[in-house]
């Protein structure tokens, strides 16, 4: 069994890797660089994770656990979750840009978890029903992740790094405003796309 100090070292290495992978990508990150960030030997990294791929898998598991955990309903709990999520946002953005198999798995997990969350919202009455719940979920997730993938472009107009909490919250609030109050004042565009769909 591992001691508490071993578990702490493991978590520190994983968090350093999360930051490195988010900044430089998995291909651009070495075990030696992660070890140097933590102040341990590369051998200790390999002792805990076996390989760089094992380290990446641990990062994926950490991100998935954070997604499954979600944020609490209170603004304080949500704020804490957002503050803690900056390295996770960076990691997700880089993984999606790199287009790895792991990124596809992460995206699928996010879609699945979000679809469950929206279905629960429908049952509880705080989410409107949809004619196509799967498409709604995929589009919603895509909107949420787009600022991370288009980080430089979006950040220029929002005035900051999209992985940082202040910028992420600014963009998310604008999105939530549109989703809650609506963007269009009438249904002309919905009717137009529905008509096109009926023809295909």
Distance CA 182, CA 143 (A): 15
CB 162 within 8 A of CB 147: yes
Q: Note the pLDDT of residue 16.
A: 95
Structural domain span for residue 111: 4-199
What is the tally of structural domains in the chain? Answer: 1
pLDDT digits (tens, 9 = 90+) for 100-152: 777 888 889 889 988 999 999 999 999 999 999 999 999 999 998 899 889 88
pTM for the full predicted model:
0.76
pLDDT digits (tens, 9 = 90+) for 13-56: 999 999 999 999 999 999 999 999 999 999 999 999 999 999 99
φ, ψ of residue 89 in degrees (nearest 5) = -60, -45
Q: What is the CATH number of the domain that holds 129?
A: 1.10.357.10
Give just the sign of the alpha carbon dihedral 121, 127, 129, 134: negative
Residues 6+ positions from 167 with CB-CB distance below 8 Å: 155, 158, 159, 160, 161
| 73-77, 84-88, 93-97, 154-158 — most confident range | 154-158
80: nearest Cα among 89, 65, 90, 70: 70
């Amino acid at each position: 069994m591992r001691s508490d100090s071993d578990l702490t070292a493991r978590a520190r290495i994983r968090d350093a890797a999360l930051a490195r992978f988010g900044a430089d990508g998995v291909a651009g990150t070495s075990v030696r660089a992660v070890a140097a960030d933590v102040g341990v030997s590369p051998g200790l990294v390999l002792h805990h994770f076996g390989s760089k791929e094992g380290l990446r898998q641990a990062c994926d598991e950490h991100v998935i656990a954070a997604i499954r955990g979600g944020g609490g309903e209170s603004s304080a709990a949500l704020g804490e979750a957002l503050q803690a999520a900056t390295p996770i946002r960076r990691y997700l953005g880089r993984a999606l840009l790199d287009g790895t198999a792991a990124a596809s798995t992460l995206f699928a997990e996010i879609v699945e978890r979000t679809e469950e969350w929206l279905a629960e919202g429908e049952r509880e009455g705080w989410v409107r029903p949809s004619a196509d719940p799967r498409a709604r979920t995929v589009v919603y997730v895509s909107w949420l992740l787009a600022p991370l993938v288009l980080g430089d472009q979006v950040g220029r107009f929002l005035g900051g790094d999209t992985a940082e909490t202040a910028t992420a919250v600014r963009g998310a609030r604008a999105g939530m405003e549109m989703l809650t109050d609506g963007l269009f004042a009438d249904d002309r565009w919905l009717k137009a796309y529905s008509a096109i769909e009926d023809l295909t």
